[in-house]
Amino acid sequence: MQRARRSILPHPFLTFVLIVVWCLLAGGISLGTVVFGTILGLLIPQVTAAYWPDAPRRVHPVKITLYVLLVLWDILIANIEVAWIVLTKKNRDMRSIWVTIPLELRTPEAIAILAGTITLTPGTVTADMSDEGHCLLIHALNADDADAVRDDIKNRYERRLKEIFE
């Protein structure tokens, strides 16, 4: 049973997203768009299966929603902060530093989400990853203390992502 489900629906969430995107693109929910969206949602995961050999992980839907809301709120608040820094601070007063973050996360999906979160929350951009994938390189626009930035990111985002994915 489980195996039959795997072969028809290898990635249920991707199928769902594809149906929703197709309905949005077609501009309305009707029988035609849903049926065609379902066809696409069944075909595309089959065709692209070679590119994600590992089975998709189960994630906690409530926790990931809460995480997305937290990140959206942070984007809003921190964008205002950075806008203020950009407009009022002089270039020579700005202390931009490199920060390295040793990662506790090991799943590629979680690391990708963490890197995206760091880039979207202003003040920090994810610049690179170490060659073995144990460490992230971050550039902070205006920060006095690299350790404070690192601890903030570890406590605020990485801990939550660890709960969600591992």
Partner 1 sequence: MTLTDLIEIVIAVALVIGAVFTLIGSVGLMKLDTAMKRMHAPTKAATLGIGALLMASMIHSFAFGSGSLKEVLIMAFLFVTAPISANFIAKVAIHRGQDVPPPSPPNDQTWSTLNPLDEAIDDPELPTRS
Of positions 128, 145, 151, 163, contacts partner 1 by CB under 8 A: 128
Cα dihedral sign for 29, 32, 35, 39?
negative
Shortest CB 4 distance to partner 1, Å: 32
Q: How far is the CB of 29 from partner 1 (least distance, A)?
A: 10
Q: Is 33 in the site for partner 1 (CB under 8 A)?
A: no
Among 52, 38, 40, 39, which Cα is nearest to 10's?
Answer: 52
How many CB atoms sit inside 10 A of residue 62's CB?
Answer: 9
Angle at which helix 61-88 crosses helix 108-120, to 10 degrees, equals 30
Tell me the closest approach of the beta carbon of residue 21 to partner 1, in angstroms.
7
- For position 126 contacting partner 1 by CB under 8 A, the verdict is yes
Half-sphere exposure of 66 (CA within 13 A, CB side): 11
> 10, 74, 127, 162: which one contacts partner 1 (CB under 8 A)?
127
Of positions 62, 91, 144, 147, contacts partner 1 by CB under 8 A: 91
Smallest gap from Cβ 116 to partner 1, in A, equals: 4
Residue 55, judged by CB atoms within 10 A of its CB (0-12, 13-18, 19+), counts as exposed
Site residues, partner 1 (CB under 8 A)? 21, 24-25, 27, 75-76, 79, 82-83, 86-87, 91, 94, 96, 98, 100, 102, 115-116, 119-120, 122-123, 125-135, 137, 139, 141
